[in-house]
Structure 1
């Protein structure tokens, strides 16, 4: 056995995630901006990371002494700022710290990877102009920032406009094939508008997220609510099926944005989605599970989900809405159960961040 073969065998045994990133086009991003977690994930081959109100809140709580001191400094610097403004300033600083860790990958991949995802304020979900403006602001905080905008009607408009302005987009609050296609096509329109004006797109690396586990979660709720008789094991494949369908549609439509997989709930959402030119972004805890699994990653992206499982899932109307490319219109995205639940969770994290800032700056007597 050659030295190279021995080395590759060691990688396969000791680091399944590193094996995936070294032997397939699939890349790994870390669904956390916590510096300790991100540093370890980079050692497993991660070349991107994510921040959002929920993640930022966790990062602040994980290093509360530091951010408590910083909030008091910010209060001196911004004496008239609201709790929300102070909290979001901290979110920006958490994100900038994480972005620095990804600068080597950003240079290596010429902007296609090495990016830190920042999420626009969920309270702006009804205002396309405000979403695009905040996205543009976030893009100035570090050269390798990519900005999350939700896949709802106003968000789709903001995605196109922000892309046109040169902002790299990571679509969020997205669970379905029609949302992914609408978002990918909005990005494509923005890229083409830039190109028509002679503006550079060579270092842009947009991605379109499908939150696989949150689709599964919602369908399980629907099955329980409506008393639908279905094999529970089939429900574990719903998000996987949606990703495979969306990926195929992106290839067929020549959309330049990559599909990104997030919100993990089971191993299938890794083992069955390897090998495509796409991004897998598991939470750190799931990366630890994958690392410990001993799984030898093989290309599975082009392997279809068992037709019998698809037929079973299609007995659920909301699966059909999520799986068929024309299953929902842009007007209907906001009424999809997973969309409402997730957007409300992000709004709740915003409120919790406000409360955290208040408790630090004005503790209860």
Structure 2
């Protein structure tokens, strides 16, 4: 029987993802708010999901039968709204619907899981107060919303203030251990401020993302630009190494937030992280492939990266900046290569979402 056929005939408990989330504190989240993908991911054991401009654009393009008439209806309901306002209303509606799918997991976990991440508008990335205001607004969309804010110097300050005000936080535009530590420290300060002022204590479910695959991408680009030859395969481990180190630091320091692994590029970014109290958030197609190939399930979060591979990575100054807990200053976060490239993608997706709405409102003749 083929791998795919055997996976289709297996019960949910036979699948690697389901076994992992059943046997360890590791949580599976779906890296999409597409309703059908999320439904199937929940069957695999997913207890969270995310939405951002890229994801929203993909979901709307994938389901034009749903979103073209909905955008037309929204335009009729709000005759003065522009393209951005209508596009972001669609993002809100997509997020609210996904949050409803996750509400049972939210209630069962006491708020630790069952979260839907919605990302703040990337065009606000330079404005702390605007990020805080939008985070507060988004947090009211559903009880299980968690808000993504970029891990730049401005964004870290915004996350601390928003968390202090009671917003559940997920860092995005985050690729390095230094960024993760900065966010973890900021969230601790916010929680301590709330406690000192007697504000209500509850499970916020804060998570701190490291986009491991995008760190791999950037180091490959950086190495090629600098004409540096790296041992074959070593760069596939860069994101994994950063995620493992961040998880150790968060555990040792007792941070009340969890590391989240995102931006998958290879199966190591799942198999090497299973076992820890952290979140793994693959796109649905990666989840399907992990199950179809029956990848082994084992507690590997505490297994160090092979010293030979790590030595090859540590020979790269750019990896050292990403790997050391204070390898970057806050002011350098936004200029790190992966951050620049990803922010440009987020901004481009926001522009494409505007253009999609424009085509609905003013179709070409």
TM-score, L = length of structure 2: 0.96
Is the 8 Å Cα contact of residues 11 and 18 (structure 1) preserved in structure 2?
no
**Range with greater deviation from structure 2 (201-210 or 340-349):** 201-210
Residue 251 of structure 1 pairs with residue 251 of structure 2: yes
Determine if the alignment matches structure 1 residue 224 to structure 2 residue 224. Answer: yes
The alpha-carbon distance between structure 1 residues 273 and 161, as it changes in their structure 2 partners (threshold 3 A), is: same
Give the 3-state SS of the residue equivalent to 1:102 in structure 2.
helix
Cα deviations by residue, 1:10-36 (Å, 9 ceiling, x for unpaired): 769831000000001101000000110
Q: Which residue of 2 aligns with 1:168?
A: 168
Partner residue in 1 for 2:239: 239
State the alpha-carbon separation in 2 of the partners of residues 225 and 362 from structure 1.
43
Deviates more, 1:56-65 or 1:42-51: 56-65
Q: Does the CA contact (< 8 Å) of 2:28 and 2:279 recur in 1?
A: yes
Per-residue deviation, 1:81: 0.9
Is this contact kept in 1: 2:48–2:113, CA < 8 A? yes
Choose 66-75 or 214-223, whichever is displaced more: 66-75
After TM superposition, the structure 1 = structure 2 runs for residues 258-337 of structure 1, keeping only pairs within 5 Å, are 258-337=258-337
Preserved CA contact (<8 Å) 1:30 1:38 = yes
The question of whether the paired residues in 2 share the 8 Å contact of 1:12 and 1:296 is answered with no
Structure 1 gaps of 5+ residues are 1-9
Task: Please tell me whether residue 210 in structure 1 is matched to residue 188 in structure 2.
Answer: no
- Secondary structure (helix, strand or coil) at the match of 2:273 reads coil
In 2, Cα distance between equivalents of 1:217 and 1:296: 26
How far apart in 1 are the matches of 2:354 and 2:13? 45
**How far, CA to CA, are the matches of 2:206 and 2:79 in structure 1?**
37
Is the 1:234–1:313 contact (alpha carbons within 8 Å) kept by the matching residues of 2?
Answer: yes
Spell out the pairing of 1:100-119 with structure 2 (5 A cutoff).
Answer: 100-119=100-119
Matches of 2:39 and 2:229, distance apart in 1: 45
Q: In the alignment, which residue of structure 2 is the partner of 1:45?
A: 45
Q: In 1, distance between residues paired with 2:283 and 2:199?
A: 35
How many angstroms apart in 1 are the aligned matches of 2:13 and 2:123? 45
Matched, 1:340 2:313: no
CA–CA distance in 1 between the matches of 2:14 and 2:248?
32
Q: Mind listing any 5+ residue stretches in structure 2 that lack a counterpart?
A: 1-9
1:104-129 C-alpha deviation (Å, 9 max, x unpaired): 00100011100100000000000011
Moved more, 259-268 or 198-207: 198-207
CA contact (8 A) 2:60 2:67 kept: yes
Pairwise CA RMSD: 1.1
Please identify runs of 4+ aligned residues in structure 1 that moved more than 4 A: 10-13
Equivalent in the alignment of 2:5: none
1:358 aligns with 2:341: no
Q: Please give the secondary structure, in 1, of the residue aligned with 2:126.
A: coil
Contact 1:13 1:294 in 2 (8 A): no
Distance between the aligned counterparts of 1:297 and 1:134, measured in 2? 39
Judged with a 3 Å threshold, the aligned counterparts in structure 2 of structure 1 residues 283 and 76 are, in CA distance, closer, same or farther, namely same
Instruction: For 1:193-204, list aligned pairs within 5 A.
Output: 193-204=193-204
Can you list the C-alpha shifts for 1:185-227, whole angstroms capped at 9, x where unaligned? 1111111111112222322100000000000000000111111
- What's the offset of the Cα at 1:285? 0.7
Cross-structure match for 2:146: 146
Map 1:17-96; keep pairs closer than 5 Å. Answer: 17-96=17-96
Once residues 294 and 354 of structure 2 are traced to their aligned partners in structure 1, the CA distance between those partners, rounded to angstroms, is 42
SS at match of 1:147: strand
Please give the secondary structure, in 2, of the residue aligned with 1:30.
Answer: coil
Q: How many residues align?
A: 356
The residue matched to 1:259 in structure 2 has which SS? strand
Q: CA deviation at 1:146?
A: 0.4
What is the CA–CA distance in structure 1 between the aligned matches of 2:302 and 2:273, rounded to whole Å?
8
Moved more, 346-355 or 220-229: 220-229
